[in-house]
Every structure is written in C-alpha cells, then in structure tokens.
A and B are shown apart, each in its own frame.
Chain A
C-alpha cells in the first residue's frame, strides 16, 4: 500500500487532501451519477436496449455527437487564432476583446440561443444574406453547430492563452537562424507546443457542447430525427414521466462522453511526454 500511494514533496497532508477530494467528488459527481445508473437499472435489458435503439434516440445521439465535434473543431482553430491575437499583439480595445471572449460563459445560454436564432433566421440580419445563397442556418443542424460553437469558444482561448504567454520567442528566432520558413516555424515549432493545450480546450468545448441544452433548443427547431439533440430528448422523456427511459439515454451519453474524454486525455498525455519526462 505504501508504494501504491506515493507521497512526495515538501507539504504533508496527502491523506487529508485526498480524503477531501474523494468526499467532494462523491457528493457532487459520483453519488448523483450512481443514482442515475441505479434508476436506469430498473429497466430490464430488453427495455433498455429497446429504448436506446429507438430510431429517434439514435438520430439524436448522432446529431449531438457530430454537431458537438464540429463545433469543438471550429473552436480549436479559431480559439487558437483569438488567443494568438490577444497575446502577440498590442492594439486599442484589446482588454475589451479579452473580456468579450468570456461572455458565452456568463450569458444565460437561452439568451445566446435566442439572439443567435433571431440573427440567423431566414429574415434575420445575417440569415437573409445566407438565404440568398440557399444556406439555412436556423432550424437545421448548422444552427445547432453555430450555437455549440458559441458556447464553446472560451475554452480553447483560455487554455491556449497561458501557453502562448509563456512562449519563449527565442525558439522562433532559433528556427529562423536555422533557415526555417515562417510556415515551418509555425507547424514544426509553435504548433506542437500548443497542441496539448489545444486538445485540452477541444475536450472541454466538446464536453460542454454535448451537455448543452439552453441555447440549442431555440435555434434547432427540435425536429425529431433531424435536429433533436440528446439533452432535449431526455427532457421530453422526463416531461412524459418516463424517468427510466430518460436515465437509460443519459447513461449511454454518460458512458460515451466518459470514454471520449478518457481517449482525449490519453492523447494529451502522450503529447505531453516531453514535459512529463522531467
């Protein structure tokens, strides 16, 4: 046991901090989630599989995962761009822009959803021009994707920003003296450094998007099989007092999310090995 729980460092208190960690996680995460599993287990296996394999449920899982994934992808690219601009350059209004980045965190998501819907609807400010091109945003999966991108934006920016702030500019100079082009300097020197932070941000944005409800319900139109997301379906089941069915879907989502996050964390750990090797 001694070896399993290694205690290192100057500050004592492994027992106490670990104890609090477990109590804290239990009260807030583990116990509520295990109740979920308990409730789901009141269903028989056939009922459970039947609930999950329902075409409407499968479609909603597909919509949820795909839109969340693409939203996180967009945020991974543009979040890095925003973080880059905010750390590399000085310009008037920089602090204001820095503050705006956090707005999706603070704003009630329903407000964000309604605002996005009114702008991207076919008669909205932006939606009317997109409609000319034959692109419909509101009440389609694209709309869900826009809403999920909106709420996930701060994650990548806020995880990449500190890494960029600590970045040693001399590494770029070293690359330049060695004859590397700007493109090579970015792809071979800077990007590999940011990648662990980008993946963390991606994972957070993705996880947040999977669970998002408030902003999506307004812009998606909630058409079964087309633009219905898993959280909404769970809400629908609850409203019909089908608690076991709701928990069954929730359990599947939970396990799926957990597996995906675990994979992303593993990937990130692999990326980080140059620092972990210390």
Chain B
C-alpha cells in the first residue's frame, strides 16, 4: 500500500519537529528515513502510524485520507526500537495478541490463531521458542518477535523505528540481510527510521534524508551518495573534505587549485565538497590539468584494513583534509608521515551561499563540477 504525506507540520511546545513535509512512498518499496537525531524522522513515522497527531497536513494510505483515523483502525505494523514486547506474556501470546484482542465477530478461532502464530515463528526463524518469555531471548530474537507480532495482524505496511539501533554490529548485519530477504518475500511496503547511513544505503530501495524537520533529499542510495542535493546531504553521507574558496570571472578558485565553473554567473565565496576517496595522491606533479593539483604534507597515516586513510595539510591554504586509497596503492607510493606529496582533486562539488538569504545555512545553489 502506498503512503502519501501531504504538507505535514508538527510542533511541540516550543520546538518544531516537522515543517511542511511532503513525501510519497510507492507500494512495495523498502524506504529509509535517514537523519541525525532531532531531525524529525521518528516523529514522521509516528504520525504515519497515528501515534501522534499533526497540526497541519494530511496522511493518505492508497489515496484514502487517514489523517484523523485512530491508531487502532489504521492497521499499521509498528516495531519499536526497544521492542516493547509484553514481558508477562510468552512469545506465542505476544505474537497472538493482535488477533486475540479482536472483537468476537472478526476474531479467528483458537486453531487458526495457533496456525498463524506458528507460521510466523517459522518466518522469523524462532520455532521452538513459543513458550519462552521475552526476557529469555537475545536482542536480535526479541526484535524478530516484535516483527512477527506486527505482521500477525496483516498490516497494510510496516513501520520500523530504529529497528536495529539497540543491537550489536554482527547481529545488526544479519538482521539487515534477513529483513531485505523478508521484504522480497512479502512484497510489503516497509518504512524504517535510522540514523546509520550505512544501514540506509545497504537496505533501502529509496532513502529519505531528513534534517531539522524537513526532507532534504529523496533518492536511491546511489543518487544521494553521488548526487547530493546540498551540503547537508553531502556531509551526512560518509566522510567529506571541505575547501573554502571563491568564484571569480567564471572560475572557481580553491587556493591554488582552479576549476572551470559552468553556471557561475556571479562572484563570491564558495565551498568545495569532495569525498576522501576522490583525492588522488602522487609523488610527482601530474602532467595534465596541473591547475587542479596542489601540494600537501602528510600529517598522519591510519591503516584501516583494506584501505589507508591519510590526513593531509595543504601547503597553500593550510586546510587539513583526508585522502583514502587502497592498501596496494599506499604501498606503491611508499610515503611516510611528514612527507610531501602532490594531490589532485577530483569530483569536487561547489556549493555557493546566496549572500543576502535570510537562512544562510539552508539556501545553496548546487554547482556540479566534474573534472
């Protein structure tokens, strides 16, 4: 079932959680709401579930208005970060709960409920634990019980609030793979909240990046990583280097490095963003396009398994930045801390601040520069 969020705003006493948020989630997609804490992603999820009420805007399921419908009638599967399992009930009773509280007319028979619960236990791979209590299960198992409990009522879609937030790395990765598999099997629309960009990238068909109660960008993991709409998205997804410079006479100057600017019809300060893995380090000055190369000193070398991270300091602007390269390339270069190298800047994205704008951190004109 598709979800449509139209112009939703939500304010608490003196805090704006969501501001005019519009979002369309197509049927059958696995979508991540990604953002730092306080960005409003959980509030949005709770609004869709009906656990919170918005001051403005509407929420539609398959085109049907659900804004004023009670949470009990929305038929939404919701999984909480800390599972919220009923501690005094066995796993069986937890999963059966949604079915046993139905009015007598629509309640399935005991045999049907048993059948359903056991098929769900098989689905979440917890057969044989039906008579345990939640306190006897590990975190990963509890989360799967919470999922089974939500699925038991055959919800229109699943909403997961930081589903793997309380689990350790290894269990988290297993559960991610498992959820991906489950999504493929059930074809259910799943919307989940996370602050972990790796989780969003790995799991989701589509990522919604949120910040300060707004949607910053919606796109596939590929799009938001390689074509970030603004500096926030750029810096939120992975490591980033910042270079401060100017746009002058149609050229972008970041220290000694110069680039052609395609759409820059104005002069002013500009900021260049680039990923550490797009920094090319060499021992000799590159022959072509020498204007994009600068000299830098290696401040620190950090080996990180398959790749090596260098912390560098530009000799022209004294700006500190990072470069990442494969271990093999690092061994070829044979550099040491304190050594001098040439650095070529690839794939720099320039964002220009619109000087007289009221909200200076927000209004940017994206200028993609590819070299």
Is there contact, CB below 8 Å, between B82 and A170?
yes
Restricting to A168-187, which residues have a CB under 8 Å from any CB of B? 168, 170-171, 173-181, 184
Specify the chain B residue showing the minimal Cβ separation from A278. B135
Name A180's contact: one of B51, B76, B97 (CB within 8 Å).
B97
| Chain B interface SS verdict (over half) | loop
| Chain A interface SS verdict (over half) | helix
Is there contact, CB below 8 Å, between A177 and B51?
yes
CB distance from A13 to the nearest CB of B (A): 28
Interface digits, B49-65 against A, CB 8 Å rule (1 contact, 0 not)? 11100000000000000
Residues of B within 8 A of A277 (CB): 132-133, 135-136
Name A170's contact: one of B84, B97, B153 (CB within 8 Å).
B84
Residues of A within 8 A of B85 (CB): 171, 174
Is there contact, CB below 8 Å, between B133 and A177?
no
Residue B236 at the chain A interface, CB threshold 8 Å: no
Residues of B within 8 A of A192 (CB): 88-89
* Number of inter-chain CB pairs below 8 Å: 79
Specify the chain A residue showing the minimal Cβ separation from B78. A177
Residue A35 at the chain B interface, CB threshold 8 Å: no
Known: A173-B51, A278-B136. 9 other contacts (CB 8 A): A175-B86, A176-B51, A177-B71, A177-B76, A178-B101, A273-B133, A274-B89, A274-B135, A275-B135
Cα of A278 to Cα of B137 in the assembled complex, Å = 9
27 residue pairs bridging A and B, Cβ less than 8 Å apart:
A168-B82, A173-B51, A173-B80, A174-B86, A174-B146, A175-B86, A176-B51, A176-B72, A177-B50, A177-B51, A177-B71, A177-B76, A177-B77, A177-B78, A178-B101, A179-B75, A179-B98, A180-B101, A181-B72, A181-B101, A184-B101, A192-B88, A193-B88, A275-B87, A275-B135, A277-B132, A277-B133
Residue B313 at the chain A interface, CB threshold 8 Å: no
Residues of B within 8 A of A174 (CB): 78, 80, 84-86, 146, 149
> How many chain B residues have a CB neighbour from A under 8 Å?
33
Residue B150 at the chain A interface, CB threshold 8 Å: yes
Residue B362 at the chain A interface, CB threshold 8 Å: no
Residue A94 at the chain B interface, CB threshold 8 Å: no
CB distance from A186 to the nearest CB of B (A): 12
CB distance from A191 to the nearest CB of B (A): 10
Residue B102 at the chain A interface, CB threshold 8 Å: yes
Residue A188 at the chain B interface, CB threshold 8 Å: yes
CB distance from B85 to the nearest CB of A (A): 8
B49, B75, B86, B135 pick with most chain A CB within 10 angstroms:
B86
Residues of B within 8 A of A170 (CB): 80, 82, 84
Is there contact, CB below 8 Å, between B133 and A189?
no
Residues of B within 8 A of A168 (CB): 82, 84
